[in-house]
Structure 1
C-alpha cells in the first residue's frame, strides 16, 4: 500500500485506502536504536503534527513518538483524512537528523531538530513525490481516566462446561474478518490464576492474547477452577484435573464458528506447558502445542528449587505478594539508578553495562540464597512425603518453618503449611512431566528463556527434548535475555510516565505467532 497517490490516481487511491484499512497494522513497531548519546541532546517523545502539501490541497500528518529505556523509540503515523491510524514507523537518529520510515505505506521523512526545538523540519519522500514538511511538537494527550481503546477484534465472555460439572469462566477473542482462524487455549502456571495471568503490573496472558488476536489467531483464556468467576474447589485441583479442563476448553473451541477445527492448539506457561503436553498424549489431542518454560524434572525436585528460590507460584497469596513486592522494589531501585544515569548524559552502552552488572550481582546473591535454602526445603518436603496425616504433617511443618525462618509472619507459617498438604502439592511431589510424552504426535514448540531463574533451561529442556525425540515435528528455542515471565531484558522495556514498564518479549511474541501461523499462511 502506498501513501496519498499512485499511478491509479488520487480518487482511486482513496477508495483503496479505505478498503484496506481493516488490514492496517495496529501494533507498535519494533524499536530502532538511536545513535549513542543522541537522546542526551534530543528529546522526541510527544506528538508531531503538521500539514503535508499534496496536489490539490493538504493532508494533516501526525507522528506519535514514545521513548524507550534503551535510547530507542516507538513511533506511529496517523493521517486522519485517509483513515490511516497507528501505522508503525522506524526511527533513526544521527546527530540532529531524525529519519522516519514506513515500509507499509512506502514513505520517508528526513528531518532536523535543534536541541529542545519545537519543530521537525525536513523533506517528505515517497515514490515519485517529494515535498518540504514541518511538524510542530505537542505533548502526547493523556487518555481519560479509566479509558480503554476498543481493540480491533471480537471479545466474548464465555463459559466452558467440564464433565464433572465445573464451569470455567473465560474470554474468547476472535480476529476481525470471516475466518476460519486458528485458535489456541492458554493454560496458566502452577497456583491459582485468573485469565490474564497477572504478575504485579504485568499481564502475561492478557498481553499474549491481545497480540495473537491482532495477528489473526483466536485465543481462549479462562480463570482457574475456584478462581475469579470459575466454579469448583480450588483446594482439590491436581494436574490431571487441569488436563481435564484443557480438554474441555478444546472441545468448546470445536463448537465455535469462525474457527478452523483443524488448527486448534494448546499454549501453556510453566505447569500449564506440562498440562498441554499431557493433553496432547490423550485421545482427541490438540492440533499443536506451544510450551513456555515447562519443567522437565520430577515435581519434588522442581518444588524444592522453586521454594528455595522463594518464587513458588503455588505458594499462598501472602507469600507470593511479599516476594513480588521484594522483586518489584529491587527492580524499581535499579530502574531509578538507570534513569538517573540517562538524565546525567549516560549513553545506551553505559546503561546496558550497568544493568548487566546489576543482573550479575542479583544472580550471585540469588545463587547463595538458593544453596542455603535448598536443604531446608528438601527437609520440609520429606516431612510431607513421609507423613500421610495432614493434621500431623501441618503441625510438624509449622514448627520447622518457625525454626528455619524466624522472621516469617505467623499467618504465613500457617498458610504455607496448609498449602504444602493440599492435594495438588502431594500429587505434584511425585509428578513426572515426561511420562506419556512418547505418545505426542502433534507439532510441538518448546520455548525457554535464557534468563529464567525459576525453570532453568539447561536442566529442564534436555529431558523434554529426549522424551519427545520420536515426535517428528519438534521445535526447540532458547530465547536470549527472556525471563520466566517471558519479559525481555529491562533495557528493552518501554518508558511510561518516565518509568520502565514490563512487557511481553517482542521476540517471544513473534516466535510464537510465526510458528502457529507462518508468514506464508498469514498472508492468505
Structure 2
C-alpha cells in the first residue's frame, strides 16, 4: 500500500470568483477512481465518498490488492480543496477540484509521493470469486464460542457439520501470520470458507475461528507468539471433543503458512490430534524464511540484483540486532539508525511514522519468536500422520521446505508423512503464472479444486485406517 496528493488554480478576478462559487456548490459524493504508477504497471485506487448530516465520509478500495472498504479517517472538502486521511495504511490524499468530475492531486504514503488524478466513476467492478460459498448450504453452520483456559481469552468461530452424520472426522483450520478472520480473508479471497465448505460437503466437520483480537475473539496477535496460538488451537480441540456429532479420535488440524508451523506444536502437546496437514508450512527458521521470501518477492517485482542484495544485508542487520539485543529501547535507537541511515531526526512525520511502524513490527513478541523459532526439533516429535503440501511457485514459503519437513518427521521415527508439490501453484494454492503476490487478487480461483480433493481424500483415508 502507499500515500499521496495536492495542486492548481485559475486567473482573473471573474474566474476566481466563479471558480470559488462552483467549488462551494459542488457535491463530491460518489465514487472517484485514479491510478498510481508503480514498477510493473498501474495500481488503481478508489474513494467511495458519501455525505451524512453535512459531513463527508469515505471508504477506500485498492482492487488489484483485493482491498475493499478500507476505513478512511477525516475527509475535508473546503472551497476546491480535498483532503482524505487513511490512517490504517499511513496514507493521505490531497487534491483540488478542477471540474465537477475531476480532481488533481497527490497520494502520499511511507514518505513517497505520487501524482494521482481522480475521476468520477459510476461503476465499481466487483472481483469475481466463483468458489465463494453461498447459501443455502447442504450442511449445518453454527456460531460458536469457547475459552482458552490458559489465557482466559474467548475464541469465536464457525463450526460446519455434515447433516445427519455421527462420529464424523473433523478439522480445525489455523490461519497464517497476521490478524486474520475465520475465513482467512486475503486479497479479496476467503480460502478457509472455501475449504470448510468443500470438506463439510464431503462428511468432514470443520471449525474455523477468528484470530486473537479479530471479530469475536479476544486478545492481540502482535503481543502473542506461535506458541500462544498453539494453546488456542488445543482449546479448539477440547471444544470439538465435547461435540456428540464428532469422533473425538478423528480430530485433525489444517494449518496454512504460519498455521503450518503452529499445527505441529499443538500436535506434539496433545495425543488428541489425530493428524495434521501443513499447507505451505515452514521447515526452517523464520529468519531463513523471511530472507528467502524477501529475495524471491523482490525479484518477481522486477527489482535489480543489487537492490535485492542490499535489502538482504539490511534485513540481516535488523535480525541480528533483534536476536542479540534484549533491551527494547536500545533496539529502537539502533534500528532507527539502520532504517533511516542516520537521518531520522531530519525526516518528515510521514517518514518517521513509516520507520517506527517497521520497527514496531520487528520488535514485537510475535516477530521475535517467529524469527528464531526452528520447527525441526518439534517436527521430529510429531507421531501422528502428516500431509505437507506446497506450490512450486510459492514465493513466500518455497517448495524446498517440503524436503526439510519430511526429513525432520522421518528422523523422529514417524514414517506416516506424505509430501505433495503442486506444479505452478502459489502460496494460496491458486494456479498461477509467476507466483507474485500481485497475482493473488487478479486470479479468480481461490484455491485449486485439485488441492481440495487431495486434502479430502487424504483425511478420509487417514481416518478410516
Shorter-chain TM-score bucket reads 0.5 to 0.7
In structure 2, the CA distance between the partners of 1:519 and 1:421, relative to structure 1 (3 Å rule), is closer
| CA positional deviation for 1:217 | 1.0
2:458 pairs with 1:472 = no
Does 2:245 match 1:245? no
SS at match of 1:262: strand
Change (3 A) 1:520 1:399: closer
Mapped partners of 2:463, 2:428: distance in 1: 29
2:453 is aligned, of 500, 510, 522, to: 510
Q: Could you give the per-residue CA deviations for residues 315-356 of structure 1, whole angstroms, max 9, x where no partner exists?
A: xxxxxxxxxxxxxxxxxxxxxxxxxxxxxxxxxxxxxxxxxx
SS of the aligned residue for 1:281 comes to helix
Tell me which of 143, 156, 172 is aligned to 1:157: 143
In 1, the alpha carbon distance for the partners of 2:247 and 2:406 equals 29
Distance 1:427 1:519 in 2: 32
Aligned equivalents of 1:388, 1:519: Cα separation in 2: 45
Residue of 392, 396, 410 corresponding to 1:450: 392
Alignment of 1:39-438 (within 5 A): 148-163=134-149, 164-308=151-295, 362=300, 365=303, 370-403=308-341, 409-438=351-380
- TM-align CA RMSD: 2.9
Cα shift at 1:371: 3.5
Aligned to 1:86: none
Structure 1 position 276, deviation (Å): 0.7
Task: Tell me the secondary structure at the aligned position of residue 264 of structure 2.
Answer: helix
1:440 to 367, 378, 382: 382
How many residues of Structure 1 are paired with residues of Structure 2 in the alignment? 320
The 3-state SS of whatever aligns with 1:198 is coil
User: What per-residue deviation string (whole Å, max 9, x for no partner) do you get for residues 345-370 of structure 1?
Assistant: xxxxxxxxxxxxxxxx9477587754
Once residues 463 and 371 of structure 2 are traced to their aligned partners in structure 1, the CA distance between those partners, rounded to angstroms, is: 44
Corresponding position: 1:484 with 2:422: no
**Over residues 134-186 of structure 1, what are the superposed CA-to-partner deviations in whole Å (9 max), with x where a residue is unaligned?**
xxxxxxxx9xxxx9532221111111210120111111111122332110000
State TM-score, norm by structure 1.
Answer: 0.57
1:103-155 Cα shifts (integer Å, max 9, x gaps): xxxxxxxxxxxxxxxxxxxxxxxxxxxxxxxxxxxxxxx9xxxx953222111
Q: Distance in 2 between matches of 1:391 and 1:236?
A: 17
The runs of 5 or more residues in structure 1 that have no matched partner are 1-141, 312-360, 492-498
Offset of 1:310 from its aligned partner?
Answer: 6.1
Gap change, CA 1:500 and 1:309, over 3 Å in 2: closer
Structure 2 length normalisation: TM-score? Answer: 0.63
Alpha-carbon distance change, 256 to 480 in structure 1, aligned in 2, over 3 angstroms: same
- Secondary structure class of the residue paired with 1:261: strand
Supply the distance in 2 between the matched residues of 1:188 and 1:385 (Cα, whole angstroms): 25
CA drift at 1:251? 0.8
* Superimposed CA distance per residue, residues 8-40 of structure 1 (whole angstroms, 9 cap, x where no aligned partner): xxxxxxxxxxxxxxxxxxxxxxxxxxxxxxxxx
Cα displacement (A) at 1:225: 1.3
Q: Is the 8 A contact 1:174 1:219 kept in 2?
A: yes
From the superposition, tell whether residues 212 and 473 of structure 1 become closer, same or farther in structure 2 (CA, over 3 Å): same
Go from structure 1 to structure 2 and tell me whether the alpha carbon gap of 1:265 and 1:306 turns closer, same or farther (over 3 Å shift). same
Does the 8 A contact of 2:167 with 2:246 survive in 1?
A: yes
Distance 2:307 2:448 in 1: 28
- Alpha carbons of 1:211 and 1:272: their partners in 2 closer, same or farther (altered >3 Å)? same
| 2:424 corresponds to 1:501 | no
Decide whether aligned partners of structure 1 residues 500 and 476 sit closer, same or farther in structure 2, where only a CA change above 3 A counts: closer
SS in 2 for 1:489: coil
Distance in 1 between residues matched to 2:174 and 2:302, nearest whole Å? 32
2:341 aligns to what SS in structure 1? helix
Task: Name 1:495's counterpart in structure 2.
Answer: none
Does the 8 A contact of 1:173 with 1:218 survive in 2?
A: yes
Asked if 2 retains the 8 angstrom alpha-carbon contact of 1:450 and 1:457, the reply is yes
- Judging changes above 3 Å, is the alpha-carbon distance between structure 1 residues 404 and 188 closer, same or farther for their aligned structure 2 residues? farther
**Unaligned 5+ runs, structure 2:** 1-127, 435-441
Q: Tell me, what secondary structure is at the counterpart of 1:478?
A: strand
